[in-house]
Chain A
Amino acid sequence: MNINTKNPDSVLLPPTPPFLIGCALLVWGWQCDFILYAIAMAVLLESAQFIHWRTPITDKEFNHISDLSSVIFMVVVVYVFATRSYYGIFTILALLPFLFFLLLLAQTWSVQGNIKPGALFISMRKLNPDGPGFNNQGIDLSFPYLMVCIISASAGNQQENLFFIFVIALVTWALWALRPRRTGKYLWLSLLVIAIATGYAGQLGLHRLQQLSEATFLQWFEQFMWRSRDPNRTTTAIGSLGKLKLSDRIMVRVDTHGKKLSNPLYLREASYNNYGYGVWTNFQHTLRLIDPLPQGRHWIINDQITGDERISISFYMDDQKAIIPVPMGLSSISKVNAIEIEHSPYGSLSMELNPGWVKYDAIFDYDHIDDAPPGKEELELPPVYQKELAELADQLGLEMQSPAQRVETVKRFFADNFVYSLTQTERYPRGKYLSKFIFETRKGHCEYFATATTLLLRAAQIPTRYVVGYAIDEYSPLEGQYIGRARHVHSWVLAYVDNHWQMIDTTPSIWAPLEAMERSFIEPLVDLWSWISYKLSTWDADDMDSKTSSIYYWLLVPVLLYYLWRMFIKDRVQNIKRRAEEKKITMRLAGTDSAFYQLLPALEARYVPRKPGETLTAWLTMIEKNIPGTELRNLLALHYRYRFDPVSLSKAEKQTLEHQVKKQLAILG
């Protein structure tokens, strides 16, 4: 009967066979266009096969290296996400072998050749290392790193078939190294061939599946998850119960180039002309493609307007094509690398560009709104409100007034009789929400006011459109520019009076402070984060001062220096200090300040010098024949007590020792 004592799990993954990691790095470098770096990295790792020099790296130093890798990883993640939005995930994937290379390099060249789990998982660092368990052994990172290299290589875009062959080669090599010892070679090989064939067939199946799913799922996803403004349709919160919760997220930034805003700046996203059941839509809507000027980066939107006001707007684009907010009376857009800009006759502007923060200059004339002239749609009223609104127009006597007077009367009507509120508590019959607002509750938010004004003016035969966008009046001292949050989304009215469009906002001006009261207490922190990510993402913007952006890169230097200091110097500095202190304590404890030592030179000068290593007692025994009295012997006893007795001498005894030594010195002359 055999006795077997082997426990397989006492060893975690073994190290990779020679040159496997190097080959994986080369495949990754070839795929992701980092071939030169990959060669250098492979050489650094694989040269350890030939050079047998290793350096001792403590667990603490491994922790620091791991922390440094994590910090670099976080910085890269933040930077890449800020500049490339969620598309950046593939960039991060491609960069992974760089990010974890330091850790593997340290492991390869360390004496230990593996890393304690605590280096990788902070939560395990403080746990009792002596606690019972089998998990205290080190982890070899080379196989996990191999997997990282293979998966990262997939983010590159070289030849598909060649990549698959390389992946098969690397995986086969790794599996061969990991196979159990008692496995038959032919069985292993035949299974692998079947696995490769199945894998290849699976790939073809996935291609087909993707085609099918794109046709159905993605269409559905885009339809329901679209966040950007739809120029043809907007759903209001009219009729919704409860409190309207609006986010503090900064959506738009406006740089007025030092000019202070006396009134809110209205940035329009879209205008609508048809209302029904809480939804505004446009009947006719075609977007007109605008060609840039020959010098590029400049688009004339309306050559009839010669605006002299210029602002710079930054806006976060969720997708490649989105409706951007622009001021009313827009003349032109410039300083943006847009792929395509389209303009709607109702004033919306659609821009195609890489997602993320975009910055553009807008030149405009606020008082010159040159939208398409009104048609019959701009006078249409929903049937449910026709009668009521006509009666109200009669009551207000609008029919007898001039168009300009009608506008004024309507404005006054809302200002005198209505209050602003974000809360709606009562449920009304469908299609009657607005009646309740106009005739009963007389409180609501901007969508109620703008919709009611639009419809009431139509009842008074004034063509109107409903406009949505941002009302900007919050100045951020941190950023030195105006900001528009999600809660600054506003709606107002365009009325066609005396052959030109006029902007009317009947929402009480209290709306902005009221909504600001709802803001979160962590808003300043969120703003700071938003600003940092905005700054990071606009580093490479063309119009940024290159000197300024390079300053930000330099900011990383102290962070890296700090980490280098923590990794390599801090402990040693502290150790030196501690050692010096310990030394001091030892010296003091050793009693080297004993007064008895003062006697030695004088005694040695007069009698025989003490031999190296000779004890004081032995030496004194030898010389005391020449010395009268037993005082020296008593002094030595006191000295020994001072030197070695844990209780040491009392204050009086110490004084006696010092006094007697002085006396003896005087005798010795």
Chain B
Amino acid sequence: MIRKLLFHNFLILYRASQWIRRHFTHAGILILGGLVTSAIFGLNIRQTLSYQIFTLLFSILLLSCISVLIFRGKFRFKRVLPEYGTAGQKLEYGILIENLSPKKFNNLVLLDELATDLPSFEHFLNAKDIQDKRRNFFDRIVGYPRLVSLIRKTRGGLIQPGEIETIAGKDKIQQRITLIPVRRGYLRFATTAIGKCDPFGLFRRFKKYNHKDSLLVLPRLYEFPPINLTGRRKYQHGGVNLASSIGDSEEFISLRDYRPGDPMRAIHWRSYAKQGTPVVKEYQDEYFSRLGLVLDTFAGSYPEIVFEEAVSVAASIAVSSLQQDSLLDLMFINDQVYRFTAGRGLAGVNNMLEILACVESAPEENINELETLLLHHTNDTSGFICILLTWDEKRQGMIEQLRSAGIPMMVYVISMNADSDDFRNMTLPEHSEHFQVLQAGDVEHSLQNKHRRKQ
């Protein structure tokens, strides 16, 4: 009951804080803070002279608000979005602004906004935030920072406002906007608002325009060491059709933009020098082995972060493996069984990343379907890379079955407590180097540790 009341108050508080941040500049917030403080101390005008400060600041803010009451501009917008974004990576895009009125405007602010769905009480109660363990006791119990982080996550990205010093009448300009996607999947742009700032630079008034768009954000990528499974080439059904050529040579396909996680040696330095942005060489592998990338989607009771990390790990492996010599089958279960093949002239990395950007979790009871799927493909697969969300009996049984079928495997388990005793006491497969527990929220560190240990 109290939590519910608190939750609703938090939503009000959040809306109020958003309103203040939107409408007041930093200088405005400073004046507002001074106004509130002087109001508190100036209640009794015989005690302090704070009331003098209060009246002055109040009239300044009042005039600020009044001076932007009338804003008669008419504008038209067009977003110029890139094809993809990557979670956690800053990206820039443009907004084309057209001033339809003949009037010149100064001191404008452009606010591009993503659709924001406020969470329900149940959603808030069940939500877990990886940052929570770094918060203090009070913040954890009360949960306001968790709510803010939840809303931010639902929204999907942070967009910085852009400043337009001046726009002439009937003129067009392009404004660069910086966006940081905080999660994978589609970001839904909802509105674009243009605001006029008062002469003091304290308060802004906005005109809002519905302006819908979407941008696909690919999962966050990690730099993954190459995975060397001891598997051999396997006979592929209709294999020749699947490959553009046969043999062990590498065939150059194209150049493409650099994506985080690409190796340095793939950079095409001449193009880099010409364009100023890194460009990498893309090769088509001629080695006809086929790897299965198995993503455990049964995230029922596990924290969301674990599943997200699993998707990121899968995406990173997809990027690194497709640059090696293999066909890659991405296999997972959702409402049905999915198997996507990439490499050797079929789909490219981008298609696989697109799929991974949109993958969702599935109910735990369907885990047997995954086992069936994997066993079905043991004949045509050289090896499996499995990304698991936990290391329970069911999953251990599944891995043991595949191992007994003689398939080489690499198993990654994503866990919130990678260093806990749970993993020390568990029975690991025979080849411990083909089994690794990765810490959710700190995968890079876990990988580095493993690499160091190997050395």
A-B pairs, top 6 by smallest CB distance, nearest first, are: A202-B55, A198-B59, A182-B106, A199-B56, A8-B163, A126-B134
Q: Which of the segments A108-116, A184-192, A319-327, A382-390 contacts the partner chain?
A: A184-192
**Chain A positions within 8 Å of B432 at CB level:** none
Determine if B48 and A13 form an interchain contact, defined as CB atoms under 8 angstroms apart. no
Q: Which of the segments A143-151, A331-339, A490-498, A549-557 contacts the partner chain?
A: A143-151
Determine if B60 and A7 form an interchain contact, defined as CB atoms under 8 angstroms apart. no
Among residues 129 to 183 in chain B, which have CB atoms less than 8 Å away from a CB atom of chain A?
131, 134-136, 139, 145, 158, 160-166, 172-178, 180-182
* Interface membership of B45, Cβ < 8 A: yes
Interface string of A166-204 (1 = CB under 8 A from B): 011001000100111111100110011011101110110
* Interface membership of B50, Cβ < 8 A: yes
**Chain B positions within 8 Å of A10 at CB level:** 160
* Interface membership of B254, Cβ < 8 A: no
* Interface membership of B416, Cβ < 8 A: no
Determine if A183 and B107 form an interchain contact, defined as CB atoms under 8 angstroms apart. yes
**Chain A positions within 8 Å of B231 at CB level:** none
* Interface membership of B52, Cβ < 8 A: yes
In the bound complex, how far is the Cα of B53 from the Cα of A536, in angstroms? 34
**Chain B positions within 8 Å of A651 at CB level:** none
Which residue in B54, B197, B199 is a CB contact (below 8 Å) of A187?
Answer: B199
List chain A positions with a Cβ less than 8 A from chain B.
1-10, 12-13, 31, 89-90, 93, 122-123, 126-128, 131-134, 143-144, 147, 150-151, 153-157, 160, 163-164, 167-168, 171, 175, 178-184, 187-188, 191-192, 194-196, 198-200, 202-203, 206-207, 210, 646
* Interface membership of B9, Cβ < 8 A: no
Closest A residue by C-beta to B110: A4
Known: A4-B163, A154-B41, A183-B199. 10 other contacts (CB 8 A): A7-B162, A10-B160, A90-B47, A126-B134, A151-B37, A167-B52, A180-B106, A182-B166, A194-B63, A198-B55
Q: A164-B52, A171-B57 are known contacts. Are A1 and B160 too (CB-CB below 8 A)?
A: no
Interface string of B37-52 (1 = CB under 8 A from A): 1100110111111111
**Closest CB-CB distance, A530 to chain B, in whole Å?**
25
Q: A133-B180, A175-B200, A203-B51 are known contacts. Are A147 and B67 too (CB-CB below 8 A)?
A: no
Determine if B135 and A191 form an interchain contact, defined as CB atoms under 8 angstroms apart. no
**Chain A positions within 8 Å of B253 at CB level:** none
15 contacts between A and B (CB under 8 A): A3-B176, A4-B164, A7-B160, A9-B160, A10-B160, A31-B49, A93-B48, A126-B134, A134-B180, A167-B53, A179-B199, A183-B200, A192-B200, A194-B59, A199-B58
**Chain A positions within 8 Å of B46 at CB level:** 210
In the bound complex, how far is the Cα of B162 from the Cα of A155, in angstroms? 40
A89, A93, A147, A206: which has the most chain B beta carbons within 10 Å?
A147
Total B residues in contact with A, Cβ cutoff 8 Å: 65
A167, A175, A195: which has the most chain B beta carbons within 10 Å?
A195
Determine if B49 and A154 form an interchain contact, defined as CB atoms under 8 angstroms apart. yes
In the bound complex, how far is the Cα of B39 from the Cα of A154, in angstroms? 12
Determine if B199 and A184 form an interchain contact, defined as CB atoms under 8 angstroms apart. yes
In the bound complex, how far is the Cα of B60 from the Cα of A194, in angstroms? 9
Determine if A1 and B161 form an interchain contact, defined as CB atoms under 8 angstroms apart. no
* Interface membership of B82, Cβ < 8 A: no
Q: A6-B163, A90-B47, A191-B200 are known contacts. Are A171 and B56 too (CB-CB below 8 A)?
A: yes
**Closest CB-CB distance, B100 to chain A, in whole Å?**
15
**Chain B positions within 8 Å of A188 at CB level:** 199-200
Q: Which of the segments B25-33, B285-293, B332-340 contacts the partner chain?
A: B25-33
**Chain B positions within 8 Å of A1 at CB level:** 172-174
Determine if B160 and A134 form an interchain contact, defined as CB atoms under 8 angstroms apart. yes
**Chain B positions within 8 Å of A192 at CB level:** 60, 200
* Interface membership of B201, Cβ < 8 A: yes
**Chain B positions within 8 Å of A178 at CB level:** 27, 200-201
**Chain B positions within 8 Å of A179 at CB level:** 199-201
**Chain B positions within 8 Å of A207 at CB level:** 45
In the bound complex, how far is the Cα of B52 from the Cα of A5, in angstroms? 41
**Chain B positions within 8 Å of A12 at CB level:** 26
Q: A1-B172, A154-B53 are known contacts. Are A195 and B136 too (CB-CB below 8 A)?
A: no
**Chain B positions within 8 Å of A199 at CB level:** 52, 55-60
**Closest CB-CB distance, A485 to chain B, in whole Å?**
30
Determine if A154 and B50 form an interchain contact, defined as CB atoms under 8 angstroms apart. yes
**Closest CB-CB distance, B219 to chain A, in whole Å?**
14
Which residue in B134, B135, B174 is a CB contact (below 8 Å) of A4?
Answer: B174
* Interface membership of B230, Cβ < 8 A: no
* Interface membership of B118, Cβ < 8 A: no
**Closest CB-CB distance, B163 to chain A, in whole Å?**
4
Among residues 399 to 443 in chain B, which have CB atoms less than 8 Å away from a CB atom of chain A?
441
Closest A residue by C-beta to B89: A132
Q: A9-B161, A127-B135, A167-B52 are known contacts. Are A154 and B42 too (CB-CB below 8 A)?
A: yes
In the bound complex, how far is the Cα of B175 from the Cα of A93, in angstroms? 45
Q: A127-B131, A133-B180, A147-B34 are known contacts. Are A180 and B53 too (CB-CB below 8 A)?
A: no
Determine if A151 and B199 form an interchain contact, defined as CB atoms under 8 angstroms apart. no
Count of CB-CB pairs between chains A and B under 8 Å = 192
Determine if B51 and A143 form an interchain contact, defined as CB atoms under 8 angstroms apart. no
B26, B42, B62, B131: which has the most chain A beta carbons within 10 Å?
B26
Determine if A180 and B49 form an interchain contact, defined as CB atoms under 8 angstroms apart. no
Closest A residue by C-beta to B88: A132
Interface string of B17-29 (1 = CB under 8 A from A): 0000000011100
* Interface membership of B242, Cβ < 8 A: no
Closest B residue by C-beta to A10: B160
**Chain A positions within 8 Å of B267 at CB level:** none
Q: A123-B135, A151-B53, A203-B51 are known contacts. Are A132 and B180 too (CB-CB below 8 A)?
A: yes
**Chain B positions within 8 Å of A122 at CB level:** 136
* Interface membership of B455, Cβ < 8 A: yes
**Chain A positions within 8 Å of B163 at CB level:** 4, 6-8
**Chain A positions within 8 Å of B135 at CB level:** 123, 126-127
* Interface membership of B109, Cβ < 8 A: yes
A7, A128, A134, A153: which has the most chain B beta carbons within 10 Å?
A7
**Chain B positions within 8 Å of A93 at CB level:** 41, 48
Which residue in B33, B158, B199 is a CB contact (below 8 Å) of A134?
Answer: B158
Determine if B47 and A206 form an interchain contact, defined as CB atoms under 8 angstroms apart. no
A133, A155, A163, A182: which has the most chain B beta carbons within 10 Å?
A182
In the bound complex, how far is the Cα of B291 from the Cα of A221, in angstroms? 80
**Closest CB-CB distance, B249 to chain A, in whole Å?**
34
Among residues 191 to 226 in chain B, which have CB atoms less than 8 Å away from a CB atom of chain A?
197, 199-201
Determine if A2 and B59 form an interchain contact, defined as CB atoms under 8 angstroms apart. no
In the bound complex, how far is the Cα of B48 from the Cα of A163, in angstroms? 11
A156, A179, A184: which has the most chain B beta carbons within 10 Å?
A179
Interface string of B60-74 (1 = CB under 8 A from A): 101100010000000
**Closest CB-CB distance, A91 to chain B, in whole Å?**
11
Closest B residue by C-beta to A147: B34
Closest B residue by C-beta to A209: B45
**Closest CB-CB distance, A162 to chain B, in whole Å?**
10
Closest B residue by C-beta to A3: B174
**Chain A positions within 8 Å of B53 at CB level:** 150-151, 154, 167
**Chain B positions within 8 Å of A183 at CB level:** 106-107, 199-201
**Chain A positions within 8 Å of B27 at CB level:** 13, 143, 175, 178
Closest A residue by C-beta to B95: A4
B27, B37, B55, B160: which has the most chain A beta carbons within 10 Å?
B55
Determine if A13 and B26 form an interchain contact, defined as CB atoms under 8 angstroms apart. yes
Q: A10-B160, A199-B56 are known contacts. Are A154 and B48 too (CB-CB below 8 A)?
A: yes
In the bound complex, how far is the Cα of B163 from the Cα of A90, in angstroms? 41
**Closest CB-CB distance, A140 to chain B, in whole Å?**
10
In the bound complex, how far is the Cα of B150 from the Cα of A638, in angstroms? 59
Determine if B173 and A3 form an interchain contact, defined as CB atoms under 8 angstroms apart. yes
**Chain A positions within 8 Å of B160 at CB level:** 7, 9-10, 134
Which residue in B50, B67, B178, B441 is a CB contact (below 8 Å) of A151?
Answer: B50
Determine if B107 and A195 form an interchain contact, defined as CB atoms under 8 angstroms apart. no
In the bound complex, how far is the Cα of B200 from the Cα of A565, in angstroms? 46
Closest A residue by C-beta to B49: A154
**Closest CB-CB distance, A6 to chain B, in whole Å?**
5
